[in-house]
Amino acid sequence: MPRLTKRTVDALAPRETDYIVFDGDVSGFGVRVLPSGKKSYMIQYRASGRQRRVTIGKHGAITVDQARTQARELFGEIARGEDPAEAIAVYRRAPDISALCDRFIDEYVMVRCKPTTIREYQRAVDLFIKPAFGSRKICDISRSDVAELHHKNRHRPYQANRTLGVISKMFNLAELWGLRPDGSNPTRHVPKYRERGRERYLSKLELAHLFATLDTLEAAGEESPAACNAFRLLATTGCRLTEIQTLKWSYVQPPHIFIPDSKTGPRRIPLTAEVSKILDGIERVPGNPYVIVGAAEGAHLTDLQKPWRRIRKKAGFDDARIHDLRHTYASHAMMAGVSRDELAKLLGHNDLQSTARYSHFSEAHILGAANTASAQIGAQMGLNWPAPAAASGDHTSSVVNLASFRKDR
């Protein structure tokens, strides 16, 4: 067989069926001629007792010498025990990111995650991951691709970091499912953006105004009793929004409210006198197991964001979120002397790190006490220093009497 050259390949004429002309220089390397006249360079070899072929490229798109060089490289892989044809077949069968997202949601998220996490993961998949990578193969996604998507959302660092976390979990599972090599997660070493936490909490006067506003709006029929009671319970229990929204009467088991499936697992919430008073004022709806009833029969109230925006505007603090009621509960607890361990149990935190954000309130309380003590001692020493102003924050509030700031209902 002669050595293939551009002239000899150009001279090959099409036949009724395709045929192969092999190179006289590199054994197994040749050019395949189709009845249409198209010509492609390829190699032919045997692996595991089977004859295999791998197409290198089309004549004209690459030269004979380029094809011969690639053929030598492929035969080198074969000599090392690899099978290029099988690798190509595996690549073609590999699912794309869209399919990985669907499997991730169906087999992991829907089985292992709670409703709020399901919504968060689904949102990241639908709005960020699928639009960016959906049609690409799982094996094609690189660290630079992930870093580019993360950087694209730098103006919203919280969302960028949450999306990065979802991608990381997806690719960990892809390795577990045999869709990516071990240790190939493309999110590795992609640094997260710094997130600035909010320290908003309602002062004693703001709480008083909130409760008075709730009473006024409910009495006037401008807000539903269900929504108003939800916010009263959020402020006096420190519960998460979903815990109050999905609270059932069967969970009220004096002296506790038992939440069987919170974010951190089952937990008990002390049923204080004020919480009991709020619950006693809520009308039970026959056939509806929920404390905060919704418009649909047998359902709970699902949208508290819209009424909260109206209520906070009436109360005069547009910057407060619903979750800030939980912050308020925790902050007043710390200022009242509740320990970090005790507060962690009240809030349902699994680790003290989540509770540590409120420690500055107790420190402010201690600083105020220290300043007062120093001023008294200074007076005894004959130093006429004025007593320092009290440290910022309300140090007289307590966890169990937050609702005493509003009028009796």
Pair (50, 107) in one structural domain: no
For residue 58, what are the contacts with CB-CB under 8 A and spacing of at least 6?
38, 39, 40, 41
In eight-state DSSP terms, residue 140 is G
pLDDT recorded at residue 398: 35
Tokens of 201: 């909490």
Q: Are 165 and 61 found together in one domain?
A: no
* Whether residues 164 and 244 fall in one domain: no
For the chain, the C-alpha Rg in angstroms (whole number) is: 34
> Averaged over 164-176, what is the pLDDT?
96
- On whether the CB atoms of residues 84 and 28 are closer than 8 A, the answer is no
User: CA 399 to CA 312: how far, in whole Å?
Assistant: 22
Shared domain for 107 and 85, answered yes or no, is no
Q: Does residue 282 lie in a domain region? A: yes
* Residue-level pLDDT at 180: 86
Query: What is the model's pLDDT at position 385?
Result: 46
DSSP lists the bridge partners of residue 31 as 21, 41
Q: Looking at the structure, tell me whether residues 241 and 350 fall in a common domain.
A: yes
Instruction: Please determine, for residue 241, whether its predicted confidence score (pLDDT) is greater than 60.
Output: yes
Please report, for the domain that includes residue 72, its CATH number. Answer: 3.30.160.390
Q: What share of the chain is helix, strand, coil (3-state, %, to 5)?
A: 50, 10, 35
Confidence of residue 48 (pLDDT cuts 50, 70, 90): confident
The pLDDT value recorded for residue 352 is 57
Q: What is the pLDDT of residue 318?
A: 86
**What pLDDT, in 10s, does the model give residues 72-105?**
999 999 999 888 988 888 778 788 999 999 999 9
Last residue of a domain, one of 93, 114, 133: 93
Q: Both 254 and 168 in a single domain?
A: no
Tens of pLDDT, residue by residue over 287-345, are: 999 999 999 999 999 999 999 999 999 998 888 999 999 888 888 887 777 777 777 77
The answer to whether the pTM exceeds 0.85 is no
Domain of 102? 97-176
Domain annotation covers residue 373: no
Report the domain count for the chain: 3
* Residue 112 shares a structural domain with residue 159: yes
The tokens describing 374, both together, are 């120093």
Q: CATH code at 295?
A: 1.10.443.10
Tens of pLDDT along 351-391?
655 666 666 555 555 555 566 655 655 565 655 545 444 44
